Structure 1
Amino acid sequence: MKRLYRMAGLCLLAGALGSCNRYLDTMPDTRTELNRADKIERLLVSAYPTLLPMGFTENRTDNVEDNGRLFEDNHIGNHEAFFWEPSSGTAWDDETNFWSTCYSMVGTANQALKSIEELGNPKELESARGEALLCRAYTNFIWVNVFGQAYNGRTSDKDLGIPYFTKPETKLERAVPRLSVAKVYELIAKDIEEGIPLINDDRYSKPIFHFTTRAAKAFATQFYLYYEKWDKAKQYADEVLGTGAVSNLRDMSKYDKLTNADEICHAYIRDDEPANLMLIVTRSLWVRALTSYRYAHNGHVASTQTYRSPGPWGRYFPVYDRLFGSNNGALYYPKYRELFEITDVVARTGQPHVVALPFTVDRVLLWRAEARVMLSDFDGAASDLSAWYVSKKGQAATAQQ
Structure 2
Amino acid sequence: MKKISKYIVLFAAAIGMTGCNEFLDIKPEGKVIPETLEDFRAVLTTGYNAFPRHKSLASLRADELTLNEFDDQLVYYRDIYIWKDANPDPATTTFQWGQLYNTIFYTNVVINEASAKVPASAEKNQLIGEAHALRALTYFDLINLFGKPYNAATSGSDKGVPLALEVDLEQNFIPESVANVYNQILFDIDQAKNLLNQSTQATGLNYRFSKASIFALEARVRLYRNEWQKALDAANTALTYKSELADLNSAAVLPNKFNGVESVMALDDAFISTLKTASYASADLIGAFSQQNDLRFPLYFQASGSRFKFKKGGEQDQKCTFRTSELYLIKAEAQLRLDNVTEAKATVLPLLQKRYTPAGYTQLSTQVNNMSAQDFTNFLFEERRRELAVEGHRWFDLRRMNQKQIIHQIDGQDYTLIQNDPRYTLPYPRNAQLNNPNL
Quick one: structure 1 residues 81 and 316, their matched pair in 2 at CA, closer, same or farther if it must change by over 3 Å? farther
Query: Does the 8 Å contact 2:258/2:266 carry over to 1?
Result: no
Aligned to 1:371: 334
TM-superposition CA deviations, 1:79-138 (whole Å, max 9, x none)? 21222111446355x31xx10111100000000112123316723412211111111111
* TM-score calculated relative to the size of structure 1: 0.74
Match for 2:272 among 286, 307, 326? 286
- For residues 290-344 of structure 1, give each alpha carbon's deviation from its aligned partner in whole angstroms, at most 9, with x where no partner exists: 3443xx424x324423x338xxxxx7304431222232344333331344xxxxx
Q: Distance in 2 between matches of 1:164 and 1:111?
A: 15
Tell me if 1:384 matches 2:347: yes
Residue type matched to 2:142 in 1? W
1:238 maps to 236
Spell out, residue by residue over 1:52-81, the C-alpha distance to the aligned partner (whole angstroms, 9 max, x if none).
3222211211223477x6x46961343212
Partner letter of residue 319 of structure 2? A
Aligned match of 1:400 in 353, 358, 371?
A: 371
Q: Deviations over 1:229-272 (max 9, x none)?
A: 111110011112249xx95112224553xxxxxxx67x85242x
Question: Counterpart in 2 of 1:249?
Answer: 245
Query: Match of 1:155, as an amino acid?
Result: T
Q: Would the aligned equivalents of 1:290 and 1:331 in 2 still touch at CA under 8 Å?
A: no
Please tell me whether residue 337 in structure 1 is matched to residue 314 in structure 2. yes
Q: 1:301 maps to which residue?
A: 284
Aligned counterpart, 2:110: 112
The number of aligned residues is 334
Residue 400 of structure 1 aligns to which amino acid in structure 2?
A: M
Number of the residue aligned with 1:37: 37
Match of 1:76 in 2: 75
2:263 alignment partner in structure 1: 276
- What letter matches 1:42 in structure 2? A
Relative to 1, partners in 2 of residues 1:89 and 1:51: Cα closer, same or farther, differing over 3 Å?
A: farther
Relative distance call for 1:37 and 1:80 in structure 2 (3 A) is: same
- Write the mapping of 1:153-232 to structure 2, written as runs, cut at 5 A: 153-171=152-170, 174-201=171-198, 206-232=204-230
C-alpha spacing 1:235/1:363, structure 2 compared with 1 (3 Å) = same
In structure 2, relative to structure 1, the CA distance for the partners of 1:236 and 1:74 (3 Å cut) is closer
Aligned AA (1:269) = K
Distance 1:278 1:26 in 2: 35
SS for the counterpart of 2:369 is coil
Q: Which has the larger radius of gyration?
A: 1
Cα contact 2:126–2:197 (8 A) shared by 1: yes
> Any gaps of 5 or more consecutive residues in structure 1?
1-24, 257-263, 310-314, 340-353
Question: Could you tell me the TM-score, scaled by structure 2's length?
Answer: 0.68
Which residue is equivalent to 1:3?
none
Alignment-derived partner of residue 138 in structure 2: 139
Q: SS of the residue aligned with 1:41?
A: helix
Q: CA 1:248/1:204 → structure 2, altered by over 3 Å: closer, same or farther?
A: closer
Q: Residue type matched to 2:51 in 1? A: T
Instruction: Report if the CA contact (8 A) 2:263-2:320 is conserved.
Output: yes
Which deviates more, 199-208 or 178-187?
Answer: 199-208
| Contact in 2 for aligned 1:324/1:333 (Cα 8 Å) | yes
- Aligned to 2:297, what secondary structure does the other structure show? helix
Question: Any conservation in 2 of the 1:127–1:203 contact (CA below 8 Å)?
Answer: no
Partner of 2:301: 324
Q: Percent identity?
A: 19
Query: Which consecutive residues of structure 2, in runs of 5 or more, have no partner in the other structure?
Result: 1-24, 373-439
- What is the CA RMSD across the aligned residues, in angstroms? 3.1
Counterpart residue identity of residue 157, structure 2 = K
Change (3 A) 1:335 1:62: closer
Quote the Cα distance in structure 1 between the aligned partners of 2:218 and 2:370. Answer: 26
Tell me the equivalent position of 2:121. 123
Per-residue deviation, residues 268-290 of structure 1 (Å, max 9, x unmatched): 5242x2210011155x8832243
| CA distance in structure 2 between the aligned counterparts of 1:255 and 1:325, rounded to whole angstroms | 18
C-alpha distance 223-107 of structure 1, shift in aligned 2 (>3 A): same
1:291, 1:330 within 8 Å by CA — same for their partners in 2?
no
- Distance in 2 (alpha carbons) for counterparts of 1:224 and 1:26: 43
Give deviations 1:192-217, integer Å, cap 9, x for gaps: 01211210217966541211100111
Cα deviation, residue 386, structure 1 = 1.3
Aligned equivalents of 2:90 and 2:327: distance in 1? 34
Q: Secondary structure at the match of 1:371?
A: helix
What letter matches 2:57 in structure 1?
F
CA contact (8 A) 1:292 1:330 kept: no
1:131-183 deviation per Cα after TM superposition (whole angstroms, max 9, x unaligned): 11111111000011000111111221111100111111333xx5311001111
- Contact residue 291 and residue 331 of structure 1 kept, 8 A: no
Separation in 2, partners of 1:149, 1:329: 38
2:148–2:160 CA contact under 8 A, matched in 1: yes
**Match for 1:288: what amino acid?**
T
